[in-house]
Each structure stands twice: as C-alpha cells, then as structure tokens.
Chain A
Amino acid sequence: MTDAAMVSPRGEVKGRSLWADARRRFLRNRAAVAGLVVLAVVTLLSFGAPFLGLRAPDDINWDMISAPPDYAQGYYFGTDQNGRDLFVRTLYGGQVSLMVGLVATLVSLVIGTLWGASAGYLGGRIDNVMMRIVDILYSIPFVFFVILLTVAIPRNFIAPTMLMYLAIGAVSWLDMARIVRGQTVSIRRKEFIEAAHASGVSSWHIITRHIIPNCLGPVVVYMTLTVPAVILTESFISYLGMGVQEPDSSWGTLISEGVNAMEVAPWAVIYPSGVMVVTLLALNFVGDGLRDALDPKDR
C-alpha cells in the first residue's frame, strides 16, 4: 500500500509536503477556486453589510411595498411586503444562514468524525454501543426533534436563532459518524493499519493519524453535503414558521415569505433563493476541489 510507505513507524505524517501538495492541486481546480471566491464574497458582504452604508434592514419605504428591483433608487433586489430593501435583508439573512451552516458543520465534523472512526476502529462491543447510541438519536426523525424543541422551549428563554444553532448542531453529526464508521470498518483491516497496530502505536494515534486521514475523501464530500443540508434544514424550519424570528431573518425566512407571491412578485423569491443556491453551489465546488486535492490515491 502506498499509504503505508508515507508513514513512519511512529505514525507521523509528513505534513508539509502533503498540505502544500493539496494546496497546489486545489488552486489548479478552476471551479473550486471560483467557488471559494463566491463564498468569500457572500461571506464578506453578509458580515460586512452593517459597514457598507446600506439601508437598515428594518427601514420601511411606504411607497415601495412589494416593488420590483429599482436600480435608480438602489433597490437591487426589490422590496418585500413591508417595503424593506430585499438586498439588505438578504445580506443580513446570510449572516444567520451562514452561521447556522458553520456552527452545525463544525459540530458535525468534530464529533462525527471522532465518534465514527473510534467506533469503526475499536469494533466489537464498543462499536455496538456507540453505533446503538447513534441509531437511537438517528431514529428520532431529527427535523421533528428540532421542531419539538422549538415548540417545547419558550422563545423568551432562548432566542430562536440561538436555538437553531444548537439544535441543528446537536443532531447533524450523526450522518458523519455513520459514514466515517463505514469507511473505517473497511480500512481497519488493511495491512498498514495492522502494521501500525503491531508496532505498538496507540489507538488514538492510529485513529487520528491513519484512519481519519484515509477517510478524508468521503468526509470532505460529506461535509460539503452537510453545510448545504444544514442551511436547508434551517430554511425548512423557518419555512414552517418555527425557526428564526423577526427582527432576525435568514434566507429561509425570506424565501418562505416570497414563495407565497411567486406569481405576482417573483423577485421576492428569486433573489434570496438565487443567493442561497449560488452559495450552496459554491460550497459544493469547494468541497469537490478539496476532495480532489486531498485524495491520497491520486498522488
């Protein structure tokens, strides 16, 4: 196995060359770089919105209720049914949506990868117990679970936006754990792992230095599926009217407000969902680029 050759008996990866290599590969992938640029622009605009000298997101213009885009007056995305600037609201909504995606995915990445790799590597009874726990959490239809949480926990107790971060984060690591475990189970019998084990390398070391790097391909691919999935989940719950609440808005709340008037005010759904779709696409391209860059088998 080529991988075994890359690893010294003490299990130290030659990090510098691997990451430098990966960066070079990533930068050569045009779609991925374009995705990264788009992502950076959306993120900067969203979080920089308060400093751009735009209208306030709650400014009402009574003469521009549900008005189509008007470049002369600077309403690039038109206005919503309260006469508020949709461009500004989309940017502010991006803050919430991106934060939900980021927080939940980080949780998913850290907990899920460690959990899945440990279960898969250690095997036997421990695997059984660990995956049983995942199964149990899994089998609660998790959006239902989030909805029940938003119903059960009063809004004056915790802000709906905060609750969204926590609730989605708490449930979104499960998929990752299963995928990583599946990969680990098939990796753990490979010779280089057995060799490492035989030479007395600790389990923790094997998991973090051998198993996880070798799972990175599927993990990165799955992660790029998780961020959009999380953003979509938040928007789904907001669509049901149970997620983020005024004065906050997210892409999900904006789209759900727009979707009812699709026939008469298409801009109210096209622009926010356009921004969301472009962002999700960019995330996917970046993810694919990362996968190709990190794939050890292509080296």
Chain B
Amino acid sequence: MKLSIRKLLLPAVAACALLASVSFAEAEMVFHRGNGAEPETINPHKSTGVTEANIEADLFEGLTSYAANGELIPGVAESWEISDDGKTYTFKLRQNAKWSNGDPVTAADFVFGLQDAVNPNTAADYAPILDVIVNAQAIREDTEKDLSKLGVVALDDHTLQITLNGPTPYFLGLLRHPIAYPVHKATVETFGDDWTKPGNMVSNGAYMLTEWTPQASLTYVKNPHYWDAANVKVDKVVMYPTEDLAEELKSYKAGELHATYDVPSEQIKDLEANYADEFKNTLYLGTYYYVINLTKEPLGAQSDLRKALSLAINREILTEKITQGGEAPAYSWVPPMTGYSQAYVSFKDMPQDDRVALAKELLAKHGYGPDNPLNIELLYNTSENHKKIAVAAQSMWKAIGVNATLRNEEWKVYLETRDKKNFEVARAAWIADYDDPINFLDMFLSNAGERNDAGYNNKDYDELIAKTATETDPAARMKLFTEAEQLFLNDDPMIPIYHYTSQHMVSTKVSGWEANILDFHLARYISIAE
C-alpha cells in the first residue's frame, strides 16, 4: 500500500523539482501586456482577430502605419503619390528599412506579400478586402492563375506601384491591415507553414519574435535592424493570453501586467471611481445591434412593427445601467468616423416616453395589443454580456406589449442559424476592419450573400453604394454614404443599440499609450518607468 502511494507521488515530486530549476531572467525594459486570447496564428495573411493583429502590428510594418494616437503615418513607404483618377498609387520606400535578419525591405517584398495574400492557396479569410486592387478578386477566386497579373509592380527596389479598380480613398488605411504586411520571401519558401515559429520568423517591424509558448506567453524583442530602432524604448514585450477578464484584472492589480486587454463590465463603475488614472475608455469603431430577419413574417413585411421594436429599446438606460462601459447609444448603423456624418433613425430626438407611446400606437395599428400580443424570438450567442442585454431588451419590449422569447445558442450554432436566416431578431455586431463607412454599408447590399444577415434588398440602396465606387471627390462620396445609410435606417431592418468603446487598464508607469478609436497601441511608442 505504501509503495503504491509513493509510486504515485514520485513523478509529481520529480516534476516539481524540474520546474523549480527553471526561472526567468529579467531584461531591461519589459512590457507585460494582457492580450485576450491565445493567438490563432501570427501569419499576418491568415490571421483574423484583434489579438493577432496586436502582435503583428509590432512584428511587421506595412506601407503605412499607426501613430500613437492611431493616425495614419508613413510606414515602410516614406512618401507616395496618387494619380488624378485616384487609381494609381506610387510608393517610395525607405532606403533604411530592413528585415530582422538585416536584409533590406524592397518593393519586391511587397509584391510577394500582396501576391501571397490573394493567392488562393494561402486561403486568407481577409483576402476579399484587397479586391480593390486590379485582378485581386480574379486571382483569389482562382479564375486568374497568373499571380503577376496582380496590380502590384516593383518599379525599382524602392519604388512600388499599385493599381486599383477605382478610386478608393481608404486604400492607405487598408495598407496597415495585417493582410497587406510584407512577408520575407526566403523564409516563407524555406520553412513553408512553419515560417512563423520563433527562430524561423523574419519580420520587418520594430520587434522580432523570440518565444511562443502556447497558452502561456508570446515574447518579442527589439529588432536592431528596424529603421527607427533608435527611438524604440521597450526592449522586450510579453503578450499573455488572458481569457478570464476578472483574473486578468487581478493580475494587473497585483502588478503582473502593465496593460490589460479588456476589463470585466461588472467592475467598470468601480474602476472609474477608484482607478481613474489607469482606466482608459474610448470610442471604438463598432456597432452592437439587433438585426431583424426581413424574410420572416410578420416583421419582414411590416416596417411599423420593426420600428416599434426599435422605439421600445431605451439605449440610454442600456448603456448606462447594463453595459456600463461608456458606450454611445446608437441611432445609426455606421459608428462615428472622421469625415463622415452619420444618418440617424427618425426618432433619435424623441423622448423615451413618446417613443413608447408611438410604439404602442404602431402595434395597435396592426392589431397587436394587450389582448393579442406580438410574439417574437430573440436569438443571441452564449455570453454573459449578450444575455444581460437580451434580458433588458425583453423587459423593454414587454412594456409595449411584445412577448419576446430568448433563444440562446452556442457560437457556431448561432452563426449557422443566422446564416440560414432561421431567426426573427438576432443579436449581432460589427467592428470595422478599416475606417471607412463602406466597411459597414456594403454588408447590406442585396448581393452580399450571408453577410447581409437582415436579407435587406433595396435597389436604390445598391445604386447609391455603387455610385460611391466611382466618385473621386471624397466629400461627395461621403455624402452618398450618408444618403444610403438614411435610406437603410428608414426601413428599420435593424435596431442599432450602441457603438462600442474599448476599455483597458494601463499602469501609470506606462507612457506613450494614447487612447485611440482604432485601439492600436504599438509597443514602439511605449516606455515604462521603473
């Protein structure tokens, strides 16, 4: 008996001893940052999430880049010229831009990078956002087999020319998306899919990958060859996958992290009150909404009923009492964006009491009332936050005599149900990939397929959006967008609820962290006081 217990104990004791011998050596200036989840991939052309983009923005640099405040600044390209028709971009690359192994970054690297991004064999989820480039769509759909037909040409080592299908004012912003980052050809060709491993990876950003232990941490250090290395202060960045937000916050409070990925919404009020210097909260390019399935009756046919549902939702109360993160009550689909004036739902300035009265009136008009309540089903995916909002919405609808049943589905099931349009009202959200209204508005084109989750179909809307593709005057283009959004909102195919905010805890030791709408905080701007 004794023996068997000892046998059981032995490996554990041995393992303890082994682990005890491992310890960390502290480098000079280290930035410990919570990063939400385990990155799925750090191949910039394959990744899709914010977690991955945060890492890739430090490891790689596109033609354009982010300033500390999120503004667009030159990246590898130090300057560019745009042709009068807005279709041809000629970039001058920095002479001193280098890869982390010392190789110069050349125009050919960008040609290779963009070809790799649209190459159907890469199978990049985000390749469609590059469709603005000549032949990109044909290549990724495999109808054009010749990669060199892509409208990206190296005129010489440091001059790159990109040709677009039409004027695309947001193209420069798009170039800082990970899908447009260059990759090191020799490395990719030598290691194949393994090129992103520590030791293999060669990158051109301010940092280079040294260590990646899944579910524990991902570490990168300063790239000595980076063109602006002299101004990079943090020597080493450690990114932690922090899925449990409450634990992340504790870890932060215990001094283990300098910055968090997010904060638990339950604690925001307390953080605002007691950690005002450290709690960073700013508007983010996203909208949380309830989409209404227009292919299902009775909501599909009756815009009055949809409007009633929208009227009943008290966004102010929802954001103030439930989400509590300083979110902006939403009355439009496109979130606030520089240079764009949003369109609003008709009742934006109506007091809530009047809205409720109007909602009841609209319901009564179609024969719904206390004796004959409208029954609807609200679909949302499993999450504490979605649940809280759904429960609140349910009670707000109850107040106008609508019986809402909550239907909760686990993420993938929810996606399938939504895609198959098997719902009446569903929770949805969209976070911008780049800051242009088209990123929101093209979702509801009649030919957008499954992305168009409302099943919205309006020829006038389609035409307005189509017009923007050829409009060369940026102001006129934005006006067309506003017009289209107004048209869309007047049909009430969705209930906008709030525009997102991003929330972080950032230690007072950290300087160079500027809250910005894109929520990118490159480590090259950060420094840490001890």
Contact digits for A57-84, partner B, Cβ 8 Å, 1 yes 0 no: 0101010011000000000000001111
Complex-state Cα separation, A260 to B267, whole angstroms: 8
Complex-state Cα separation, A246 to B393, whole angstroms: 13
A53 on the interface (CB 8 Å rule)?
no
Cβ B413 vs Cβ A246 within 8 A: no
Contact partners of B270 in chain A: CB under 8 A: 263-264
Cβ B395 vs Cβ A260 within 8 A: no
A261 on the interface (CB 8 Å rule)?
yes
Complex-state Cα separation, A188 to B3, whole angstroms: 28
Contact partners of B395 in chain A: CB under 8 A: 58, 60
- B413 (CB) vs chain A CBs: closest residue: A154
Cβ B408 vs Cβ A265 within 8 A: no
Contact partners of A58 in chain B: CB under 8 A: 391, 394-395
B269 on the interface (CB 8 Å rule)?
yes
Cβ B407 vs Cβ A155 within 8 A: yes
A211 to chain B minimum Cβ distance, whole angstroms, is 26
Interface residue from A83, A155, A156, A259 paired with B246 (Cβ < 8 Å):
A259
Complex-state Cα separation, A137 to B465, whole angstroms: 58
Contact partners of B407 in chain A: CB under 8 A: 155-156
Chain A interface mostly = loop
Interface size on B, as a range, is 20 to 34
Contact partners of B406 in chain A: CB under 8 A: 245-247
Contact partners of B264 in chain A: CB under 8 A: 260-261
Contact partners of A84 in chain B: CB under 8 A: 391
Interface residue from A151, A246, A259 paired with B410 (Cβ < 8 Å):
A151
B201 on the interface (CB 8 Å rule)?
no
B122 on the interface (CB 8 Å rule)?
no
Interface residue from B317, B384, B408 paired with A257 (Cβ < 8 Å):
B384
- A246 (CB) vs chain B CBs: closest residue: B406
B467 on the interface (CB 8 Å rule)?
no
- B317 (CB) vs chain A CBs: closest residue: A62
Cβ B266 vs Cβ A241 within 8 A: no
Cβ B266 vs Cβ A261 within 8 A: yes
Complex-state Cα separation, A151 to B394, whole angstroms: 25
A242 on the interface (CB 8 Å rule)?
yes
Contact partners of A262 in chain B: CB under 8 A: 246
Known contacts: A58-B395, A156-B407. The answer to whether A246 contacts B390 by CB under 8 A is yes
Complex-state Cα separation, A157 to B527, whole angstroms: 54
Known contacts: A65-B321, A154-B413. The answer to whether A241 contacts B390 by CB under 8 A is no
Complex-state Cα separation, A156 to B246, whole angstroms: 31
Cβ B266 vs Cβ A246 within 8 A: no
Complex-state Cα separation, A260 to B249, whole angstroms: 10
B246 to chain A minimum Cβ distance, whole angstroms, is 5
Contact digits for A146-159, partner B, Cβ 8 Å, 1 yes 0 no: 00001100111000
Contact partners of B321 in chain A: CB under 8 A: 62, 65, 83
Complex-state Cα separation, A262 to B247, whole angstroms: 11
A225 to chain B minimum Cβ distance, whole angstroms, is 22
Complex-state Cα separation, A71 to B196, whole angstroms: 59
- B321 (CB) vs chain A CBs: closest residue: A65
Cβ A264 vs Cβ B382 within 8 A: no
Cβ B387 vs Cβ A246 within 8 A: yes
Contact partners of A257 in chain B: CB under 8 A: 384
Complex-state Cα separation, A241 to B384, whole angstroms: 8
Offer 15 A-B interface pairs, CB within 8 angstroms, sorted by A.
Answer: A62-B317, A62-B321, A81-B388, A82-B322, A82-B388, A150-B410, A155-B410, A241-B383, A245-B406, A245-B408, A246-B391, A246-B406, A257-B384, A263-B267, A265-B266
Residues of B within 8 A of A (CB): 245-246, 264, 266-267, 269-270, 317, 321-322, 382-384, 387-388, 390-392, 394-395, 406-410, 413
Considering the complex of A and B, which 10 residue pairs feature the smallest CB-CB distances, nearest first? A261-B266, A264-B270, A260-B246, A245-B408, A60-B395, A65-B321, A241-B382, A82-B391, A260-B264, A246-B406
- Contacts A66-B266, A241-B384, A247-B406 known; list 17 others, CB within 8 Å: A62-B317, A62-B321, A82-B392, A155-B410, A156-B407, A242-B382, A245-B406, A246-B387, A246-B390, A257-B384, A260-B264, A260-B384, A261-B266, A263-B267, A263-B270, A264-B266, A265-B266
